[in-house]
Structure 1
Amino acid sequence: MTATQARPAGYPTEWEADVVLRDGSVAHIRPITPNDVDAVHRFHAGQSDESIYMRFFAPLRKLSDRDVTRFTNVDYHDRVALVATVRGDIIGIGRYDRITPTSAEVAFNISDSYQGRGIGSVLLEHLAVIAWEAGVQEFTAEVLPQNRKMISVFADAGYEVARRFEDGVVSLSFRIQPTERSEAVRLSREHRAESVSMHSVLFPDSIAVVGASRRTDSIGHHILANIQAAGFNGAVHAVNREAMEVLGLPAHARVSEIPGEVDLAVVAVPADEVLEVVADCADAGVKTLLVVSAGFAEAGPDGEDLQRELLATARGAGMRVLGPNSFGVINNHPSVRLNASLAPELPPPGRLGLFAQSGALGIAVLASAARRGLGISVFASAGNRVDVSGNDFMQYWIDDEDTDAVGLYLESMGNPRKFSRIARRLATTKPVIVVKSGVSTYGVPPGHRARTTRVRPEAFDSMLRQAGVIRVENVHQMFDVAQLVVHQPLPQGNRVAIVGNSDALGALTAEACVSWGLEVAHGPVSLPSDATGEQFAEALADAFADADVDSVLTCFIPPLVTQDEEVATAVRDAAIASDKPCLATFLGMRGVLERLSDQRGGGRVEVVPAYAMPEDAVRALAAATRYAEWRARDHGVPVGPVGIDREAASALVDRVLAEAPEGRRLTHQEVTELLAAYGIELWGSVPVRTVEEAVAAANAVGYPVVIKSVAPLMRHQPGLSGIRVDLRSDAQVREAFGALTERLAPLSANTFVVQRMATPGVSCVVRSDEDPLFGPVVSFSIAGPPTDLLGDIGHRIPPLTDVDVSDLISSVKASPMLHGHRGAAPVHRAALADLVARVSVLADNLPEVSSLVLNPVNAQTSGVDVLGAEVVVAPTTRRKDPGRRSLT
């Protein structure tokens, strides 16, 4: 079937999606087309009599050509149908037919062999989003009483379902507006499915190594040898067309010849042979591919084409892909002992999960962890990240009882919105430490699928803080933090005790604490160089017992009397006896690291982390303290301002884009209408060109008034006044207009408006921008020099909670101006927060609003006044996290 045949006029490409099903496999969702007639016939012919009766209320063993033609020809607006496919075969159909302007009847038909995998739930989820965007508010359905599975699909989706039994049929109806409950159900299902899909990567019962060779210098040989050496508990198969056996295993010519199922196929063949291997794995029913082969998108345009075909073939067959160009995967769980990687030996088992994208960095990360004595639960390298990413592994780690903390080395980020919400959920129970150098395209390695971004780097930092992620600058810092959060309790506050035996070292540690925002509440205590072991123990006990202390920092140089090991033992014993975290620095001391760990009950090892320098320890403690504060705080509830008419706003945007397909700046009247749909009142202003027009406008608006220049130049010249305020008479208007014209006309900035005088307050800027990578980004700042000169701008990524909104307003350094700075009256904080919340919802709802700037926003004691606004709308690409389950 050609692309033209498959996509009729009006075909909505943006509705296509790959989704992970309940069993971890992948299905493709797409709109139905007239070319699906034969596929629908085949689908129906494969259904049981019971399923046919449940769907059509009649024993229609064969559908007529007329019926199937009607089913497959839809207008994608009032009549919509989606199909779920695997390997091109239809496994499920969902459809709705509009019966009134705001309601539609919905129906589903799921393949008997795929029932129980959540296909009906996925189709309902996608249809509901499509229908809601088209103005449908309610779904209705007629279901036979014995069709409990379909009834449960509606009931379990998070909607309030009304039921009525009449004439032997159950009539159901429910509003499809997204709710907090329906969103929670969607995200929970996505989490479970994607977590399950990682099970075949991390806990395979059988592995096939394709490209296993007897040549000891080959990648396939190394991986097969590493799998065997680690003591993998499942079945291992070698695939090699030319050998009879490899490393003592009989060799198979292809995966499809291996008896029994293969969960994980490790592909280590030249790039030009990979597609043939993938097709064979699809025939064999392999669940997951680990592609270590290189030569894909990182190698140039031909490799990019090869990589796209690899992904399409794998997903079309329902398989997940880790790689290509992957370093491999390691799982230290005793039930599997998996080392399907290029690492020559398993790292020591432990409680830290690690994810890195490139192979080179994978080697560096594992080597650094080994040097620190940090045990690993799971390690994975995504390579070019064509499919499986850090998001998938975070979904797994949310429920993994063997992982206490997660470290991610990210060279690029393909879906920041999804990363943010998954990381936020993970961080509520486990520390998430991220190494990410930046967000510009310069930092994206060849082969990584990532859109460019226009946002400032501060927006990326804000996203991580919003999600509770600990961001560090390099691998060294990541393991500094990991040593602490894996082995020690989290700090309950920022108060620190410092105990050591060097005045200089104690002072250095204290200075570092102050610079990182930690309060030195005890010490620095400096023991004499000839202190005994008992004195060390006593000083440490006093520090831990101090009620005003949340964490203890110890820093020692070699003592004169006491053995180095005795000091380390005193530190360890004091730390283990307390529920407060302890960090140690030993300069020039020997034999101390072995004394800092102790085997406790339940087989767990408690370790006091040791650092090369006090500054390293303090930086790690500060990061853990900030994370603990975030985790302990109330994260709020999603904002949901009342009085929003999303349909009116969408209609306005659609109308503008119909007139100007490339997009344009909205007129003042259009901006007023758009903002009003979200409960935001834009103050009127009257453009004036002459002094007489200014006087007439002032009388029409009502005194007092202001005259201001709206020339773009004036926004970037803080020292050049373009406004005259509190004008109360015709004479004052004339004088002000003349003075402004005389000053600004030489600069071509004499473009004026007259506006009603607002109550004096603090001038703010609220804006949103639609970014290709991040989606909507909402920003807040105090107008004038803080914005224009100092870049004092806060950013957050919607959807926002009420706490996010409050944090955004408080995040700018100039925020004290809002709270009564130097005797001024404090602004109405709640009204300002409501305005920011409304802008965030507008930005989240309408990706076509590429830029929205409210400037100035006059925040004053009784509320906020939006005195100026500019909006640009433009066609937009599909967001990376579109509000319905999708692998992107």
Structure 2
Amino acid sequence: MGVQQLDAFFRPRSVAVIGASESPEKLGHEILRNILEGGFPGAIYPINPKSETILGLQCFKNVKEVPDGVDLAVIIIPARFVPQAVADCGEKGVQAAVVITGGFSEAGPEGEALQQEVVRVAREGGVRLIGPNCQGVNNPYHPLCASWPLLQRQGRVAVISQSGTVGAAMMDWFSDEELGVSCFVSLGNRADVDETDLIRYFDQDPNTRVIALYLEGIKRPAEFRRAIDEAGKPVVVLKAGRTPRGKVAAESHTKSLAGADAVYSSLFKAHRVVRAETIQEFYDFAKALAYLNPPPGNRILFITTSGGAAILATDTAEREGLDVAPLPAELADALEGVIPAHAIRANPLDLTGDAHAAMYQAVLERARPYYDIMGIIFGDPVADASTVVTPGAHEVVIFLGGADVEKVERKKMHLNGIPVFPTPERGVRALAQLLPPEKKRKPARTTVPASPAGGRHPSLSECLEFLENHGFECVCHRFAESPGKAVHLANQLGFPVALKIDSPDILHKSDVGGVRLGLRSGQEVRKAYEEMMESARKARPDADIRGAVVSCMASAGLEVILGMNRDPQFGPVILFGLGGVTVELFRDVAMRILPITREDAFAMMEEIQAAPLLDGYRGAPPVDKEALADAILKLAHLAETHEDIMEIDLNPVFAYSEGLVVADARIIWRGA
């Protein structure tokens, strides 16, 4: 059966409801009523051997008794009777059947056998199936609501769902917002028609602009992959069953093979499927893709009456790779006399509570040439806000805090095909889905404590000596002001040795070639010293380079970082995480504001992503967590008793199965 032949499900000329009921509380009554009251344009045939008429319609004992042709059957009878009903449909020439009834593969082995029997008789009779165990179909454009509740608003999103409730919730939200859907399909157990069939069908549907798909598993992986690769319309997916227990739940729900989530993520990324993390995002992303046009670039200007909402929008925009570019001087000049004198001309552009619709309009007219996207935030009851925005324009509209005015204006915008989002985060996240990765910036990271400006930087040897005097185990080390002294000290310490630049101005020694490890002879030490000084002076000619520190090579261990930063607002903050040269890249750290307890120290160890390494990974011995906790608490004590210390950075610290050793350190003291 080709894609067009699925029209029997969504554009039938006639419908038989097998299991129609006179009892209003039964589903067979509700679905028949919804088809009737929804304005289905064709013939409707209730099938029930015990009734003469239902809802004023002549009732038939069997679908085979209907005198005219039947395109679609909706089956709502006990599971054990479904195979015969489908066989009757085949004899009648019914092209398609939606089986609402549950009690099939999702119910166990007997149900699985019953479902296979349904599939067998359907194939023999040439009947295509949706379901079983589903919530039906609803096509507002060919008014057919063979589902529940009765929702009739026409829209641009086809909602395909392996969960009836998730799909119905999407329909409900689109209906509430006056946006509607192009179609709703509840897949159920997918005994026949599946997600791949429907992606291909709705990709050709003129009323559908976006395909929104709730998945628990994929029935035909290779065909599915081809379908999403060939789709000409955006596909938004909410894939459930991502965790071990969620995967089990998904597989028991509709007997879907949930699969490995990492593989799904790779699949979706490769074929530019938009993946939603939550049902809220599922709705927002589909809404944005259906009603917004892709912008030409990523530069966005936020125009707002709410400074707080604009800050939230800016945070989200930067995390999503959008460019909240500064306000051009030319545009700032053009806004003279347009916005209040006390309004700060920047991006975000806060028009303050004095703003009105005409002011927004004037700003938008002047700003559009400078930006790819207008982020319009109505943060107050702005009357006539709907007159400011334009359908199809590169605008994302966010309305919050507007009470009854907001409700009125939002409805007007939605009726004009302009999506409105209730929070800055939701609006900006949804907008970001319209931009391909190559048009986005690298997402901004959240801020972390910064090193204090100025201050006194002791030499590396002084830092290590200070730490030793306060109970920290440090590598054996000596300061060398010349190559000859370095060779002499190396002979005293014993080879191999490490050599590190000693300068208060060079914070990252590796960046300037200031670290040499595993030196095994005096000749190697001399050469390394001379090369290190040349490299460091070339990279940092302004730096005060005092010499180098010669130290014993620490035994291999797990590299961690211990740190303290004195925050200007909250005071000392203790840091623990995975160490080494990649610490700033991965930021796998945990933080605590003082005071902290021993329990806090252990909790910090568990919080980092690399926590399994501490417990011993793939044959490696576990590290001494007691020693790490001791070191964290010593660091906290230093911060409490030395208020003139602004920052301490111990990296790397080598953690062993017994004890630990500090291999490198930086301390910044208050004052010059």
Deviations 1:274-325 (A, max 9, x none): 1111121121111111101111112222111101111111112221100111
**Distance change in 2, residues 1:536/1:360 (3 Å):** closer
Equivalent position of 1:329 in the other structure: 137
How far has the Cα of 1:529 moved from its partner? 2.1
Contact 2:251–2:257 at 8 Å: present in 1 too? no
Question: Is 267-276 or 520-529 further displaced after alignment?
Answer: 520-529
How far has the Cα of 1:449 moved from its partner? 4.5
* Partner SS state of residue 134, structure 2: coil
Equivalent runs, 1:757-772 vs 2, <5 Å: none
Equivalent position of 1:626 in the other structure: 436
Match of 2:46 among 238, 262, 281: 238
Match of 2:409 among 595, 608, 617: 595
- 1:394 lines up with 2:199 in the alignment: yes
Contact 2:396–2:428 at 8 Å: present in 1 too? no
- 1:415 lines up with 2:220 in the alignment: yes
**Distance change in 2, residues 1:402/1:447 (3 Å):** same
Equivalent position of 1:545 in the other structure: 369
Equivalent runs, 1:21-40 vs 2, <5 Å: none
Equivalent position of 2:654 in the other structure: none
TM-score w.r.t. length of structure 2: 0.59
* Partner SS state of residue 211, structure 2: strand
In the alignment, residue 95 of structure 2 is paired with which amino acid?
K
Equivalent position of 2:28 in the other structure: 220
* Partner SS state of residue 198, structure 1: helix
Equivalent position of 1:481 in the other structure: 285
Aligned length: 421
**Distance change in 2, residues 1:319/1:460 (3 Å):** same
Unaligned runs of 5+ in 2: 328-346, 441-580, 587-672
* Partner SS state of residue 519, structure 1: coil
TM-score w.r.t. length of structure 1: 0.45
Counterpart-to-counterpart distance in 1, 2:221 and 2:262: 14
Equivalent position of 1:765 in the other structure: none
**Distance change in 2, residues 1:413/1:443 (3 Å):** farther
Match of 1:263 among 60, 63, 71: 71
Equivalent runs, 1:809-888 vs 2, <5 Å: none
Match of 1:448 among 230, 250, 254: 254
Contact 2:399–2:406 at 8 Å: present in 1 too? no
- 1:494 lines up with 2:298 in the alignment: yes
In the alignment, residue 416 of structure 2 is paired with which amino acid?
E
How far has the Cα of 1:532 moved from its partner? 4.5
Equivalent runs, 1:419-438 vs 2, <5 Å: 419-426=224-231, 428=232, 430-438=233-241
In the alignment, residue 223 of structure 2 is paired with which amino acid?
K
Equivalent position of 1:612 in the other structure: 422
- 1:579 lines up with 2:397 in the alignment: no
Contact 2:218–2:258 at 8 Å: present in 1 too? no
How far has the Cα of 1:469 moved from its partner? 1.0
* Partner SS state of residue 252, structure 1: coil
In the alignment, residue 542 of structure 1 is paired with which amino acid?
R
- 1:283 lines up with 2:91 in the alignment: yes
In the alignment, residue 288 of structure 1 is paired with which amino acid?
A
Equivalent position of 2:319 in the other structure: 515
Contact 1:497–1:551 at 8 Å: present in 2 too? yes
How far has the Cα of 1:590 moved from its partner? 3.1
How far has the Cα of 1:433 moved from its partner? 1.1
Equivalent position of 1:815 in the other structure: none
Equivalent position of 1:569 in the other structure: 386
Runs of 4+ aligned structure 1 residues displaced above 4 Å come to 596-599, 627-630
Match of 1:296 among 104, 109, 112: 104
Counterpart-to-counterpart distance in 1, 2:435 and 2:367: 18
- 1:527 lines up with 2:351 in the alignment: yes
Counterpart-to-counterpart distance in 2, 1:468 and 1:579: 23
Contact 2:241–2:250 at 8 Å: present in 1 too? no
How far has the Cα of 1:617 moved from its partner? 1.0
Contact 1:551–1:580 at 8 Å: present in 2 too? yes
> What is the root-mean-square deviation in Å for CA atoms of aligned residues?
2.6
How far has the Cα of 1:628 moved from its partner? 9.6
Counterpart-to-counterpart distance in 1, 2:300 and 2:319: 13
Counterpart-to-counterpart distance in 1, 2:439 and 2:192: 34
Counterpart-to-counterpart distance in 2, 1:261 and 1:294: 27
How far has the Cα of 1:359 moved from its partner? 2.4
Match of 1:557 among 379, 387, 401: 379
- 1:368 lines up with 2:173 in the alignment: yes
Equivalent position of 1:458 in the other structure: 262
How far has the Cα of 1:358 moved from its partner? 2.4
* Partner SS state of residue 361, structure 1: helix
* Partner SS state of residue 587, structure 1: coil
Counterpart-to-counterpart distance in 1, 2:45 and 2:409: 44
Counterpart-to-counterpart distance in 2, 1:215 and 1:500: 54
Counterpart-to-counterpart distance in 2, 1:293 and 1:520: 52
In the alignment, residue 266 of structure 1 is paired with which amino acid?
V
How far has the Cα of 1:207 moved from its partner? 0.9
* Partner SS state of residue 591, structure 1: helix
In the alignment, residue 163 of structure 2 is paired with which amino acid?
S
Contact 2:15–2:70 at 8 Å: present in 1 too? yes
Equivalent position of 2:533 in the other structure: none
Counterpart-to-counterpart distance in 2, 1:236 and 1:627: 49
Contact 1:585–1:617 at 8 Å: present in 2 too? no
**Distance change in 2, residues 1:240/1:615 (3 Å):** same
**Distance change in 2, residues 1:282/1:481 (3 Å):** same
Equivalent position of 1:342 in the other structure: 148
Counterpart-to-counterpart distance in 2, 1:628 and 1:213: 56
Counterpart-to-counterpart distance in 2, 1:594 and 1:627: 36
**Distance change in 2, residues 1:589/1:282 (3 Å):** same
Higher Rg:
2
Counterpart-to-counterpart distance in 1, 2:126 and 2:383: 57
**Distance change in 2, residues 1:629/1:507 (3 Å):** closer
* Partner SS state of residue 324, structure 2: strand
Contact 1:468–1:627 at 8 Å: present in 2 too? no
**Distance change in 2, residues 1:493/1:585 (3 Å):** same
Counterpart-to-counterpart distance in 2, 1:278 and 1:471: 36
Contact 2:15–2:42 at 8 Å: present in 1 too? yes
* Partner SS state of residue 197, structure 2: helix
Match of 1:472 among 273, 276, 301: 276
How far has the Cα of 1:436 moved from its partner? 1.0
Counterpart-to-counterpart distance in 1, 2:57 and 2:395: 50
Contact 1:587–1:612 at 8 Å: present in 2 too? no
Equivalent position of 1:309 in the other structure: 117
Unaligned runs of 5+ in 1: 1-19, 21-192, 631-784, 791-888
Counterpart-to-counterpart distance in 2, 1:250 and 1:529: 63
Contact 2:238–2:278 at 8 Å: present in 1 too? yes
Deviations 1:344-379 (A, max 9, x none): x22311111111122222332222222333211111
Equivalent position of 1:798 in the other structure: none
Contact 1:271–1:294 at 8 Å: present in 2 too? yes
**Distance change in 2, residues 1:363/1:450 (3 Å):** closer
* Partner SS state of residue 444, structure 1: helix
Identity %: 32
In the alignment, residue 291 of structure 2 is paired with which amino acid?
H
* Partner SS state of residue 282, structure 2: helix
Question: Is 396-405 or 584-593 further displaced after alignment?
Answer: 584-593
**Distance change in 2, residues 1:243/1:505 (3 Å):** closer
Equivalent position of 1:382 in the other structure: 187
In the alignment, residue 406 of structure 1 is paired with which amino acid?
I
